[in-house]
Chains A and B, each alone.
Chain A
Amino acid sequence: MTEHAPDPLADDAFLEALLDTLIPPEGPMPGAGSLGLSEDIRTGVVANTVLAAPVSAALSALRTRALEREPGGFSALTQDAREQLLSSLMDEQPALGIFQLFVFAGYYHNAKVLQALGLPGVPPFPRGHTIEETDPALLSKLASRRR
């Protein structure tokens, strides 16, 4: 799919560039555009009967504005230019903020991202987690107050 596909949610090049603009790579943290999240995000947006239309309209507006600036579209813009363009549209297209939530949710349950955060990158069950015991000094204070 190209950045000229009719539906912005079906436009992988556009989506990946947008995802990398929202969450760019930095150090061990991968960019959101490099994780293959587009399909999940597309599915999530489309499944939401309330939000699908406004999000799609907002993405269309962004893509159209990008094409006005650069014939190669959003993905051909520099990171700075993408950020500038996105910022200029955020107030006008509040559904871009909703799209951002979809991206954040998709990004932060990806195994590579979780591993980069120092987490095991597996479901919580059955391993579970260890947490710190109660500070014995605090328990001593409580013991003196027990009724």
Chain B
Amino acid sequence: MLYHDRAMANDPVDVLIVGAGASGAAFAWSLAETRMNILCLDQGGWMKPSDYPSNHLDYEVRGFREFSSDPNVRKLPVDYPINAAESPIAPLMFNAVGGSTILWAAHFPRLEPDDFRVRTSDGVADDWPIDFDTLAPFFDVNDRMMGVSGLSGNPASPPRCPPMPPLPLGKVGNVLARGFEQLGWHWWPSDAAIASQEYEGRAPCINLSPCTTGCAQGAKASTDITYWPLAQRRGVRIRTGCRVREVTLRPDGMADGVLYYDADGNLQQQKAEIVVLACNGVGTPRLLLNSVSSQHPNGLSNRSDQVGRNLMFHPVGVTLGIFEEELGHHGPVGCCLHSHEFYDSDPSRGFVRGYSFEAMRGLGPVMAAVMGMQRGHVGWGKRHHERYRRLYNHVAALLTITEDLPDPDNRVTLDPDLKDGSGIPAPKVTYSLSENTRKILAHGKDRATEVLRAAGATEVSAQELMPSAGWHLLGTARMGTDPETSVVNEWGRSHDVKNLFVIDGSVFVTAGAVNPTATIQAVALYIADAIKQRIDTLFD
């Protein structure tokens, strides 16, 4: 095939995207209308829905192994290890076409307008160089492209019109909603990138339950089934099994492509006029820091020493309620309802910024046993069944998603010893919780307990910080107008290398207190649009 031959030949391309996940896919689709020659490299491959765990009886167990969100647990050949020994939160991701959208819960809130002006509102962190209104049209395009189910009219957020009606709350959601109602606190059905009805060739959700191990039904939006088929139809090519080692430079300091290892382990060079990084908040700084040259001895685009700094995770607390009534456990796991009752700053609480609540479905049979054991609810021996029956199908949980403020000491660096299967230095994550975050988590735990009690829980237990909750990797190549304090400008272009762009969650200036994917993709679409608008003066 011509495409195949062209791709294998490493002929120069106009635009080279590294990473085929949430942002890379959206960006590629948008830029494809320019008819430029666009190639995307990804270290993973295409997923087959028939391989997803929900095709098997041991679907929950597979989520602890080869479909774990933690690359250090999964240890697949396409994964790279991460030294997270100095972080209480494990960084999570998935490496495939579709990236972490393969395993995400598809909860699809947007950052709120005030999240873009934290310095102005609260005197901490920094304001973004762009605002909510700038992203608004791209949010809407992205909702249509990903296929979002939700209920318009949420009084806590700007107007939004999801293209599909909301997913049903299920028993868990109905019960928890009554708790919020009793307290008079805000709640709303969650926006979810899951089809509640047939949508653009996607079948509707049938409540397989394990959204976080891939959707065999194809109801959940992952970019391998949303953006990528359309981008490919527009001529964008994806080359899989390619692990990028470094971005290379021309003598004049402009990027000229990348060096990568192909699926057979051979070192290859791919030339490009524009290089775009979409490797997530750990992978992107890792690649920049690995791109050392005489011109950039501390890593590419790192003149400001900001690459890898300001890592934000959204630390998560989980509060579990046990109810007398049966609640079940089926339905999309993280997409039931949410609350922004405590989202905004309130000085009387003793911390700045805030958090959101997200309701979770109950626990499947294996999770009920494992989590029950870890929390002391389920033991072994003669009383095992009695205690298990009390938990299984009787649990509802609230997650406290906190706003994590940027801290330059929370960072991604290169581990001096650890390497991936291609010998490329692996990332090291150094992270500690701030006092502000601890206060938010404590507040969230107490309020979650109130909701669960109001909803009828007879027993409540809390884990103030979930260790395996580093789904959101943000802030490590942040955008800004000042090259001394930021890595890319207000439309994603490197301050130091004018044909190098970063389009993933790395560019976030602050994190908000919601799942970031809708915003990550809106930012990627916005940057693609900025490139299209400036195509004649792009490198000035």
Q: Using Cβ atoms and an 8 Å threshold, which residues of chain A touch B331?
A: 129, 131
Residue in A27, A101, A111, A127 whose beta carbon sits within 8 Å of that of B373 in the complex:
A101
Contact with B along A72-93 (1 / 0, CB 8 A): 0000000100010010000000
Instruction: Assess whether B152 is interfacial by the CB under 8 Å rule.
Output: yes
Residues of chain B from 105 to 151 with CB closer than 8 A to chain A in the complex: 151
**Of the candidates B170, B171, B181, which one forms a contact with A138 in the assembled complex, judged by CB atoms under 8 Å apart?**
B181
Q: Does A22 contact B (CB under 8 A)?
A: yes
A111 to B392, CA, bound (A): 17
- When the two chains form the complex, which single residue of A113, A123, A130 contacts B55, counting CB atoms closer than 8 Å? A123
The 0/1 profile, CB within 8 Å of A marked 1, for residues 370-394 of chain B is 1001000010111011000000100
Contact A108 B55 (CB under 8 A): no
Residues of B within 8 A of A24 (CB): 381-382, 384
Find out whether the CB atom of B207 lies under 8 angstroms from the CB atom of A130.
Answer: yes
A132-B188 in contact given A104-B366, A109-B61, A124-B210 (Cβ < 8 Å): no
For the side of the interface on B, what is the size category?
35 or more
Which stretch from B90-98, B153-161, B294-302, B446-454 is at the chain A interface? B153-161
- Please report the C-alpha to C-alpha distance between residue A100 and residue B379 in the assembled complex, in whole angstroms: 9
A127 to B330, CA, bound (A): 12
Question: Which residue of A is nearest B152, CB measured?
Answer: A146
Task: Give the residues from 10 to 31 in chain A that come closer than 8 angstroms, CB to CB, to chain B.
Answer: 21-24, 26-27, 29
Interface flags for B152-182 (1: CB within 8 Å of A; 0: not) read 1111000100000010111101100110010
Which of A1-9, A59-67, A114-122 is found at the contact surface with chain B? A114-122
- Bound state CA distance, A27 and B388, in angstroms? 14
Contact A109 B365 (CB under 8 A): yes
- Hey, which chain A residues are within 8 Å of B209, CB to CB? 124, 129
Residue in contact with A22 in the complex, picked from B210, B368, B384, CB distance below 8 Å: B384
Q: Hey, which chain A residues are within 8 Å of B174, CB to CB?
A: 132, 134-135, 138
Contact across chains for A131 and B373 when beta carbons are under 8 A apart:
no
Q: Does A108 contact B366, Cβ atoms closer than 8 Å? A: yes
Contact at B380–A125, with CB atoms within 8 Å?
Answer: no
CB distance from A77 to the nearest CB of B (A): 13
With A24-B381, A131-B171: A125-B54 Cβ-Cβ less than 8 Å: yes
- Inter-chain CA distance A99–B58, complex, in Å, is 18
The answer to whether A79 and B188 touch across the interface, beta carbons within 8 angstroms, is no
B177 touches A100 (CB 8 A): no
Verify A105–B168 contact, CB threshold 8 A. Answer: no
Cβ–Cβ < 8 Å partners of B168 in chain A: 131-134
- Asked if A147 and B169 sit within 8 Å, CB to CB, the answer is no
B385 adjacent to A105 (CB under 8 Å):
no
By the criterion CB–CB under 8 Å, are B169 and A117 in contact?
Answer: no
Query: Quick check: is B1 within 8 A (CB to CB) of the other chain?
Result: no
Which of B58, B177, B380 makes the CB contact (< 8 A) with A135? B177
CB <8 Å contact, B57 and A123: yes
Partner of B385, one of A27, A119, A132: A27
Q: Is the Cβ of A105 less than 8 Å from the Cβ of B64?
A: yes
Contact of A123 among B59, B154, B173, B206 (CB under 8 A): B59
Closest residue of B by beta carbon distance from A145: B155
Question: By the criterion CB–CB under 8 Å, are B57 and A125 in contact?
Answer: no
330-367 of chain B: CB within 8 A of chain A: 330-331, 365-366
Query: Which of B159, B171, B189, B381 has the largest number of chain A CB atoms within 10 A?
Result: B381
Most chain B CB neighbours (cut-off 10 Å) among A79, A83, A123: A123
Evaluate whether A105 and B208 lie within 8 angstroms (CB atoms) in the complex, with A132-B171, A138-B169 already known.
Answer: no
Residues of B within 8 A of A131 (CB): 168, 170-171, 207, 328, 330-331
User: Given A122-B57, A147-B159, are A109 and B171 neighbors across the interface (CB < 8 Å)?
Assistant: no
For B55, the chain A residues whose CB sits under 8 A away are: 123, 125
How far is the CB of A110 from the nearest CB of chain B, in Å? Answer: 8
Q: Shortest distance in angstroms between B184's beta carbon and chain A's nearest beta carbon?
A: 11
Q: Is B60 an interface residue (CB 8 A)?
A: yes
* Cα–Cα, bound, A141→B56 (Å): 40
CA distance A110 to B147 in the complex (A): 35
In chain B, positions 444-472 with a C-beta closer than 8 Å to chain A are none
Query: Across the interface, which residues of A come within 8 angstroms of B188, CB to CB?
Result: 142
Contact A123 B56, CB 8 Å, known A117-B365, A132-B174, A134-B174: yes
- Chain A residues contacting B208 (CB-CB under 8 Å) are 124-125, 128-129
Given A107-B369, A109-B60, A123-B56, the answer on whether A83 and B177 have CB atoms closer than 8 Å is no
* Closest A residue, CB atoms, query B384: A23
Is B197 at the interface (CB under 8 A from chain A)?
Answer: no
For residue B373, which residues in chain A have a CB less than 8 angstroms away from its CB?
Answer: 97, 100-101, 104
Q: Identify B365's interface contact among A97, A113, A143, CB under 8 A.
A: A113
**How many Å lie between the Cα of A99 and that of B181 in the bound state?**
43
With A24-B381, A107-B369, A119-B365: A147-B58 Cβ-Cβ less than 8 Å: no
B370 x A104 contact (CB < 8 A): yes
Closest approach, in angstroms, between the C-beta of A9 and any C-beta of chain B? 18
Residues of chain B within 8 A of A100, CB atoms compared: 373, 380
Any A CB within 8 A of the CB of B268: no
User: Which of B56, B173, B209, B365 has the most chain A CB within a 10 Å cutoff?
Assistant: B365
- Which single residue of chain A is at the shortest CB-CB distance from B159? A147
A104 / chain B contacts, CB cutoff of 8 Å? 366, 369-370, 373, 378
Q: Which residues of B lie under 8 Å from residue A109 when comparing CB positions?
A: 57-61, 365-366
Closest 8 CB pairs of A and B: A128-B206, A146-B153, A129-B330, A131-B170, A104-B369, A108-B365, A125-B216, A129-B207
A-B contact pairs, 10 of them (CB 8 A): A29-B385, A124-B208, A124-B210, A126-B206, A129-B330, A132-B168, A135-B169, A141-B181, A142-B188, A146-B153
Given pairs A24-B382, A131-B170, 5 additional interface contacts (CB within 8 A): A104-B369, A124-B208, A128-B206, A130-B330, A145-B155
